[in-house]
Structure 1
C-alpha cells in the first residue's frame, strides 16, 4: 500500500511538472516595444505585440481606468483610476514581469485622469480638485502641484524639460498654459528689492466648448484642441499664448486629438459617432472622414507614421488604421478600449 501511495504521488508530481513546463513554454515575454491598451470593461491593462497585433498579457487594474503612460525606460506603466473625479489612485504595472506593483494613493488630489511622463516623473491632472500634480518614482512622493481654478482639468502635456505644462479644462472651455518662471520683483519705494524667486505662472485661453483632447505640434509651435459640443478646432500659438484661429470642423463628440509624427496631419476621434477625422495642418482642410465604429476615443500613432491605433470604446476593440491608404486595416479585441500608450525599452 505504501509503495502504491508513493507511486501516485510521483505521478502527480510528474503531471504538475509537465503543466508547469508547458505554461513556461507558452508564456510570452513583453517585447521591447509594446502597445498598451486599457480595457474599461474588463479592468485590465492589455500588453500587445505591435507586430503581430496579439495580446500577450492582461494585467488587472482598478475599477475605472482611463489613461495609461509608460516610463522612459519602458519597464513600468502607470494608469489613472478616475471615477468621475472621486477616486484617487495611480496603478503601477511591472511590464517586464507583467504584474501589478503597489498602488499610489494620490490624495488629496482626487480624480486623476490625464497623465504623461517627463523629466523622470509622472505628471497627471486631478479633475476632482482642479489641479495638476507630479509623482517622483525615485522618492515615491507626490512632489509638486498647482491649481488651475478651472472646471474639469482633464488632459495634460508636459515639455521634456518639465518647464511648461498644458491642460484642457473641459467644462470651463479653456486651455491652461503653466510656465515655470523666474520672477524678478520690482524695487519698492524704500529702494529695497527682494531677491528673484521661482514661480509658476498660468495663462488661461478660451477655446471651444467641451474641449478635451489636444496635442502640441512636433515643432512645439502650436497647440490644437477640438470641442465636443460644436466640433470646433481651436489653434493656439504657444509663443504668444493666444488663440490664432479656429476651424469649423463639425467634429461633434470630439474626444482625442493627435498630430502625426511629421506634423503634417491631425487625427481627431469622435466618441459620439465613431468617426476618425483627418485634417491637413497647413491648409486646415479635412482630408478624410473614416468610420471606425460607433464610438472612438484614444489615439496612438506609430513613430514612423504608418499606422494609427484607435480605442473604440463602444465597439470593444482597438481599430488599426493604415495612414497610407487611410483605411481600417485590422482590429484588436479589447472590451471597452480607451487609453493607449507605447512602452519602449532601449
Structure 2
C-alpha cells in the first residue's frame, strides 16, 4: 500500500539536493562536520604553499636603498644613481667652482661659491688637509695666482670687484678689493686670467671684458663682447685674450693692446671653460649644453674638431661639460661632465684625431679640474660632494625661516677628489 506521506517527504528531500555537487566552490571555512581531518590537511597545505611563495618573493626582492653609503659601496643620490668617486675625498665648502694649483705644486686653492658661506680654502697637497681659509663675500667662479704665487685673485661677483689676497707658506690673507665698475651696476665679474701685470675678467651680467693693471689696481678699459661672457684666457705671448661667450655660442678674440674684438669663432651651445694646447696653437672649449668640446685652430680661426664626451653615442644634451685640464706633456685632456658625475680622458696628441679613452668616476656634480706639475695627480672639485641629506626641518610655507631651517641648498658639502695612480686611469670605455 502506497504511503503518500512518506513519498511526499522523499520528493521534498530530493528537490533540496544540489544537482551538481562537484561544481560547488571550495572553501576552507565551510566543511561538513564529518570532514574536519581533511580540512586541517588542506589548511596545512595552503599555509605551506603561501609561506614558500613569500620566501621566494623575498629572495627576489631587491635590497632597499637608503641614503648615505660608504666609499666602497658608493653613495645614493636622490635620482637613484650611485656615485663611487675615485681616489681620496677632501671635504671643502659649499659648491666649489674653481681650483688653482700654486706654482710650486705644494698647495691647492679652492673657491667655494654656493648657498653657504663663501670662502677660499688652501689645501696642503701632501697632508691633504685644509691649512688656511679666507672668508669672502659674493664670489663667483674666477680664481688665479700670479706667477710668483704670492697674490691670489678671485671674481667678486655681487660686489662688482676683484677680490685679492696675499699667500705665504700656505696662509691666505685678504688684501684689497679692486673695483671693476660702479658697486650698484650689474657687472658680476667672474672668470679671469692673469698675464704678467694685467688681469682680464669676464663680466657675466655686464656682457663685457675688463682689463686691469695689477700694479695700480685701475681698470684700463672695458669692451662689450656678447651675451654673458663666462671666462677669459690669455695667449702665451700675452697679445691675445680669448673669451667664451656663454650665451652666444662663440669665442670672442680680443687684442690686448686696445682690447678690441678682432674675431669671433663659433662653438657649440654654452661655451664655458677653456684651455690652450702646450704649443699655443689650439684652444679647447667646453660646451655645457652640447656634450662636446670644440677644438679651435687659432691660426685658421675656426673650430676644426667637435669632440663628443658622452658615455654613449648620440646621447641627448645633459652631460654638462664644464671644466677642462691639460696634462703637462700636452697629450691628454681631462673634461668634467657635471651631470654625469665623471671626468672624460681624451687623447689629443694628434690634431684632428682626438679620441676619448674612457671616464673616471668622481663625486656629485664635478665643477673644476687641476693637475699636478708632474701629471701624476688629478684634482676634481665636486660641487655637491659625495652624498645627499634629508631635510626634515625644511622650509614650510606657513612658518617663518629660522637658523634651524634646513634649506636643501645649504645641506650640500663640496669635496675635492684626489686621483692618483690607478685612480687616474679611465675605468670605463663605452664606445670606440
TM-score, with length taken from structure 2 = 0.61
Contact kept? 1:119, 1:160, Cα under 8 Å:
no
Instruction: Quickly say closer, same or farther: Cα 1:166–1:323, change in 2 above 3 A.
Output: farther
Contact kept? 2:146, 2:196, Cα under 8 Å:
no
Matched, 1:312 2:382: yes
Contact kept? 2:103, 2:148, Cα under 8 Å:
no
Please report the RMSD computed on the Cα atoms of aligned residues, expressed in angstroms: 2.3
Gapped regions of structure 2 (runs ≥ 5)? 1-101, 312-318, 386-413, 427-432
Instruction: Quickly say closer, same or farther: Cα 1:134–1:288, change in 2 above 3 A.
Output: same
Choose the corresponding residue for 1:268, options 320, 335, 343: 335
Contact kept? 1:310, 1:318, Cα under 8 Å:
yes
Instruction: Write the distance in 2 (CA, Å) between the matches of 1:235 and 1:121.
Output: 26
Instruction: Write the distance in 1 (CA, Å) between the matches of 2:256 and 2:219.
Output: 18
Q: How many residues align?
A: 279
1:145 is matched with: 222
> Which portions of structure 1, spanning 4 or more consecutive aligned residues, are displaced by more than 3 angstroms?
30-33, 198-201
**Which aligned pairs between 1:211-222 and structure 2 lie closer than 5 A?**
211-222=271-282
Instruction: Write the distance in 2 (CA, Å) between the matches of 1:247 and 1:138.
Output: 40
Instruction: Write the distance in 2 (CA, Å) between the matches of 1:63 and 1:243.
Output: 35
2:424 is matched with: 326
Instruction: Write the distance in 1 (CA, Å) between the matches of 2:163 and 2:276.
Output: 26
Choose the corresponding residue for 2:166, options 94, 99, 113: 94
1:68 is matched with: 143
More strand by share: 1
Instruction: Write the distance in 2 (CA, Å) between the matches of 1:151 and 1:208.
Output: 14
Choose the corresponding residue for 1:130, options 203, 207, 215: 207
Instruction: Write the distance in 2 (CA, Å) between the matches of 1:311 and 1:53.
Output: 14
Larger gyration radius, structure 1 or structure 2: 2
TM-score, with length taken from structure 1 = 0.75
**Which aligned pairs between 1:1-346 and structure 2 lie closer than 5 A?**
33-40=106-113, 41-83=116-158, 87-96=159-168, 98-108=172-182, 110-148=187-225, 150-180=226-256, 200-250=260-310, 252-281=319-348, 282=350, 283-315=353-385, 316-322=414-420, 325-326=423-424
